[in-house]
């Protein structure tokens, strides 16, 4: 049954002019808001082909992957494509010295060899419903922000319960336009997802951290998974009896390639953007919080990389940790530089000045918004700063963070009448957590990082927020952080897995004091106590900000009544569209829109892990053995650029041509354009895409896994045979 869109939103749509490229649009609204423009830009399909509840459509083939990426269905047997870096954790967990899938790649020859990935899920959106009117009826302007959020949550739970009762579906109510619009999202969660194929890291992560966020790019950033379901094609926990999923829709794949100016669309789950924020938010992000994280991660990454270069075992253990740290670290550097280059803070201030004049002259009910936000962002700044130092440095040593898992056991053991059965279950959980932790843990790395983290915290955090163990460092250890780190690693039970396992094997409630006095646990609890001490202030100021931003968003829509506003990203399904195009990052420099396999050979350096080129790949290049995957110009295209507005979460998203066919996988943004989470500049903001022809070339010609290509539907298989 078709759902009605709120009258207020449709009224807003009728005043909207054409504005291309930027924006992450709700698929349910494309028919009203974007279809005409998309078709004028070259799209040959309709909004109903993209999102429909009446028949199968593209939305039925796009899923949230692992809670943080996007994937798409590319066969009638539930075959999924996503990015290599999205599947990296699963690939790493299946890897060991004797089967190093990171180095060698992995290709299941048939479904019997596909590897289960416990804990990995995909989520398919079934439907969106506008529930704004019902949520608005549950709140009023007299409520505090806390009361408003409580009322919204209560009503949301009622809506979800009613919508999913008697089904296997799940639901959530999501806020848009800073709490001015609400949609119910109904989805299926698939819990049996298996690894099917992945290239070696020197293809899937070619260029590593050096090339990350950069252009030109030559990374074959893809991996392959499959969804399994029960006999009724319903989501199910892992079972050897499960069958491959039969989707309602899966993408056709195009081998035509792209030309500059071609229409492109990205369909996926972008994480977070903050396009409509106050200048105080931008200042706190760019000038305060980003520099903290960048500096701290600089130190951690230097140590981890140095050890990884010395040992294959450590390289496997720390591959995912390094990738996770480095991804955000480099993005923050680029984001800050990008906003500084366009003078983004002043840009926001100029906007706020014009808004203030408008409000003072004709909309006095909004005249306190800008000064209120300025005050609240100033108020929250020292607390956010301290929060960053706690999370990145204070508990930034792995073993200190790991010690926090033991709080539940200590609490259960300290009661007057301990429940031994409950304690046994907690101990078993901790034993399993320890196995996972120590599998990818190196004590020497952690010992080297530890004193650096503690010293950074001590040197940068206001003394009024300082945990008491720093007094011990100052008085007993004369400020020698290295000596204190020696004490920690010598005396902590957690620093020796053998001792910890023995302790857990013989645990009884009366032994909780050993854990409670453990130096790692002492640091963890005091850091958490410090955070709990500032949390009320953070919560108060953030509630104030959220309350005002609710009205600021509404006011901006009135202030710019001819502007088209898209809702900030919030990990819900979105469509962005633009065109294939290069960019000019600086004077006298212009980047082309595509790269080729030639560039991989040019970058080759056998002495640098990230730039090793496989012999088989070089052989294919020398022989120009590209098969039907070559471009019309005879080269093997690897990646291309487009002006689709993307962010984190869009990794793995299908990139779709004018005919609705898959032409690539989104995997990154250019470094100069990472500011697009806050400010989108159409001149420099680009998304980076691995060409689907390169993906298929690696699967087929490099890996010899042609059975996987045969499983897919190639829309123009007659080309280049």
Catalytic positions: 85, 221, 651
347, burial (CB in 10 Å: exposed 0-12, middle 13-18, buried 19+): middle
Q: Can you say how many angstroms the Cα of residue 392 is from the centroid of all Cα atoms in its chain?
A: 18
In angstroms, the CA 471 to CA 336 distance is 35
d(CA 377, CA 372): 9
Radius of gyration of the chain (CA): 27
Instruction: Kindly state the tokens that stand for 272.
Output: 């977070």
Q: 25 φ, ψ to 5°? A: -100, 145
Q: Could you give the count of Cα atoms lying within 13 Å of 191 in the half-sphere of its Cβ?
A: 10
Look at the alpha carbons of 658, 663, 666, 671 in this order and tell me if their dihedral is positive or negative: negative
CB atoms within 10 A of CB 401: 17
* Two structure tokens written together for 422: 């409950």
What is the C-alpha separation between 454 and 390, in angstroms, rounded? 10
Structure tokens at 574: 């979105």
**Inter-residue contact 346 to 282 (CB < 8 Å):** no
Concatenating the DSSP letter of every residue in 244-270 gives E---S----B--S---TT-EEEEEE--
CA dihedral for 179, 184, 189, 195, sign (positive or negative): negative
Here the tokens at position 21 are 């490229």
H/E stretch holding 171: strand 170-176
Instruction: Count Cα atoms within 13 angstroms, Cβ side, for 463.
Output: 2
Cα–Cα distance between 280 and 132 in angstroms, integer?
29
């Amino acid at each position: 049954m078709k759902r009605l869109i709120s009258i207020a939103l449709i009224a807003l749509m009728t005043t909207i002019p054409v504005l291309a490229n930027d924006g992450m649009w709700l698929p349910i609204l494309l028919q009203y808001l974007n279809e005409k423009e998309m078709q004028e830009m070259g799209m040959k399909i309709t909004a109903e082909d993209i999102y429909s509840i009446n028949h199968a459509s593209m939305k039925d083939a796009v899923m949230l992957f692992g809670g943080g990426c996007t994937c798409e269905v590319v066969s009638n047997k539930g075959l999924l494509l996503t990015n290599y870096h999205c599947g990296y954790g699963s690939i790493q967990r299946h890897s060991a010295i004797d089967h190093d899938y990171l180095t060698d790649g992995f290709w299941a020859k048939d479904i019997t060899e596909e590897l289960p990935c416990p804990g990995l899920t995909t989520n398919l959106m079934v439907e969106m419903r506008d529930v704004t009117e019902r949520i608005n009826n549950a709140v009023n302007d007299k409520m505090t922000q806390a009361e408003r959020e409580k009322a919204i949550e209560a009503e949301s739970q009622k809506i979800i319960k009613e919508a999913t009762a008697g089904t296997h579906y799940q639901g959530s109510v999501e806020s848009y336009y800073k709490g001015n619009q609400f949609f119910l999202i109904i989805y299926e969660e698939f819990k049996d997802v298996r690894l099917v194929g992945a290239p070696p890291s020197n293809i899937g992560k070619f260029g590593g951290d050096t090339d990350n966020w950069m252009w030109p790019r030559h990374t074959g950033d893809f991996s392959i998974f499959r969804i399994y379901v029960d006999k009724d094609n319903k989501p199910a926990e892992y079972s050897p009896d499960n069958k491959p999923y039969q989707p309602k829709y899966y993408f056709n794949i195009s081998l035509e390639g792209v030309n500059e100016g071609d229409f492109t669309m990205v369909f996926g789950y972008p994480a977070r953007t903050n396009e409509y924020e106050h200048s105080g938010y931008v200042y706190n992000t760019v000038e305060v919080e980003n520099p903290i994280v960048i500096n701290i991660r600089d130190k951690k990454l230097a140590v981890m990389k140095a050890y990884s270069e010395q040992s294959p075992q450590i390289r496997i253990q720390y591959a995912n940790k390094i990738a996770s740290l480095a991804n955000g670290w480099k993005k923050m550097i680029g984001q800050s530089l990008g906003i500084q280059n366009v003078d983004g803070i002043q840009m926001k201030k100029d906007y706020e000045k014009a808004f203030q004049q408008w409000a003072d002259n004709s909309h006095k009910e909004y005249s306190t918004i800008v000064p209120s936000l300025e005050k609240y962002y100033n108020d929250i700044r020292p607390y956010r700063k301290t929060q960053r130092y706690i999370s990145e440095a204070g508990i930034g040593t792995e073993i200190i963070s790991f010690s926090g898992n033991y709080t539940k056991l200590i609490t259960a053991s300290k009661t007057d009448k301990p429940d031994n059965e409950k304690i046994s279950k907690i101990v078993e959980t901790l034993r399993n957590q320890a196995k996972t932790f120590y599998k990818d843990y190196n004590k020497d790395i952690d010992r080297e990082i530890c004193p650096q983290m503690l010293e950074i915290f001590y040197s940068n955090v206001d003394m009024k927020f300082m945990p008491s163990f720093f007094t011990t460092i100052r008085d007993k250890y004369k400020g020698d952080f290295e000596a204190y780190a020696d004490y920690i690693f010598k005396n902590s039970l957690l620093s020796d897995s053998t001792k910890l396992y023995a302790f857990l094997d013989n645990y009884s409630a009366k032994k909780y004091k050993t854990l409670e006095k453990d130096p790692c646990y002492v640091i963890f609890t005091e850091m958490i106590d410090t955070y709990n001490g500032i949390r009320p202030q953070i919560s108060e100021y953030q509630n104030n900000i959220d309350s005002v931003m609710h009205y600021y968003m509404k006011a901006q829509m009135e202030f710019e009544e001819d502007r088209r506003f898209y809702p900030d990203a919030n990990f819900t399904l979105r469509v962005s569209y633009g065109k294939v195009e290069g960019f000019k990052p600086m004077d006298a420099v212009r980047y082309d829109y595509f790269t080729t396999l030639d560039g991989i050979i040019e970058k080759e350096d056998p002495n640098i892990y990230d730039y090793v080129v496989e012999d088989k790949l070089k052989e294919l290049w020398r022989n120009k053995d590209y098969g039907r995957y070559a471009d019309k110009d005879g080269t093997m295209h690897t990646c291309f650029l487009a002006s689709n507005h993307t962010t984190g979460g869009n990794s793995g998203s299908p990139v779709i041509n004018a005919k609705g066919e898959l032409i690539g996988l989104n995997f990154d943004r250019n470094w100069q354009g990472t500011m697009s989470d806050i400010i989108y500049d159409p001149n420099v903001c680009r998304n980076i895409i691995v060409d689907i022809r390169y993906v298929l070339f690696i699967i087929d010609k490099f890996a010899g896994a042609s059975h996987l290509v045969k499983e897919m539907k190639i829309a123009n298989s007659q080309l280049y045979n």
